[in-house]
Structure 1
């Protein structure tokens, strides 16, 4: 039974055209996830890039990943990631136990993160695991031109807030059976806390890419 990595990388990005093949440092964006998976070969048996784009396919093959041609019908803007993962599982002959989802838009990850997450995934007997980070901001909403605090009271110190967490997208681990049941994050999913600057790099716009370049060039990890 294999553990595989799946990297979904379609070619139709609108806000940042061709984002999955834009350079971040010395490599195209999606290649960072391929190299990360290769660096964890003691966990990951095979690496699959799912794409509808010939240039992405060419780059993925060049860097040693296997490619699954994604049908147009599941390549649209609004298509959920789960259908891509299901299509990959349906397209390969190997019996897969676990899937590691690496999104190319989250290209920077702490070196030991996958090993720590995978060990926790096994130890907790979870059906899935996903990474989260703590948010220290004061949230609220505006109703009838008035600001209504959500997670604090006016005047409360930020250090006294009840902790809130956000799904940072760095990586996901799911049993193949959960994916077949339409769940990347299952009911007993383990939220693995990652408080690291990489958790704030999620590339969807040019500003996001510029920030990723800044982090890559100015911080030594």
Structure 2
């Protein structure tokens, strides 16, 4: 299957400025993400890093990856992808997977799955992933985004709220035994995994669509697509990938992981 990968790598970050250049085992983080993209098996010529900073551009060019300088004015990674698509002149029916530049542990098989899910669903313009939630604390946590799908596996809604709400199970008595409730509801609860595949024509239209009220309320960009009638296919996986890097603490955890891998006995 043919598809493209774009790795947005923005320098500015309120919690960890310059994180694509943060060193992990002596290499910048964005190099590790590029390695995960190469592990998918698609040609290196179909993998592009998109940045807004000369320092990142120079670092990426130095290790031999394709890199494009994009605008500093993009509000989200989707808009940056749309600019890359326009600059490269890719076909309207091509599939592009957005691999965030702060995901050095993202398994390659999930990237392939996102692309394959979209390729198999002609009705959808976007594909993403979800995994079962078996921890009741996650069901209630606002930072854990939930997704509900229809019979065809297409998203009905994404929310920070605990959806679906089981009227009979979520009673005061039952909630005292939260582990039993979570185990009972596991087949119905999906945590959204923020990995996206897009058709080029969908990316082009998304960048011109108005922000939706639901997107503003929930602070979830994917709700813009649903609001405007774009279908999102959701592939179910059994386990979420390792968390990416948002904070200095996340970076220290990832650095320790890679150092442990290096020194681990063969």
| Shared fold (TM-score, shorter chain, > 0.5) | yes
More strand per residue: 1
Q: How much does 1:23 deviate?
A: 1.8
1:191 aligns to 2:234 (yes or no)? yes
User: Does residue 8 in structure 1 map to residue 8 in structure 2?
Assistant: yes
Preserved CA contact (<8 Å) 2:8 2:49: yes
Helix, strand or coil: the match of 1:72? coil
The equivalent of 2:78 in structure 1 is 82
Alpha-carbon offset, residue 196 of structure 1: 3.3
Which segments of 5 or more consecutive residues in structure 1 lack a partner in the other structure? 142-148
CA contact (8 A) 1:3 1:44 kept: no
How much has 1:26 moved relative to structure 2? 4.4
- Give 1:166's aligned residue: 191
RMSD value, Cα: 2.9
Q: Output one character per residue of 1:86-112: Cα deviation in whole Å (capped at 9) or x when no partner.
A: 111222234361111110122212243
3-state SS of the aligned residue for 2:73?
A: helix
* Structure 1 position 191, deviation (Å): 1.4
1:27 matched to 2:52 = no
TM-score, normalised to structure 1's length?
0.78
The alignment's TM-score, normalised by the length of structure 2, stands at 0.66
Alpha-carbon distance, 1:46 to partner? 1.8
Q: Secondary structure at the match of 1:8?
A: strand
Structure number with the higher helix fraction is 2
Alignment partner, residue 112 of structure 1: 109
1:146: which partner in 2?
none
Whole-angstrom distance in 1 between the partners of 2:85 and 2:115: 20
**Is 1:65 matched with 2:65?**
yes
Partners of 1:52 and 1:209 in 2: how far apart?
A: 21
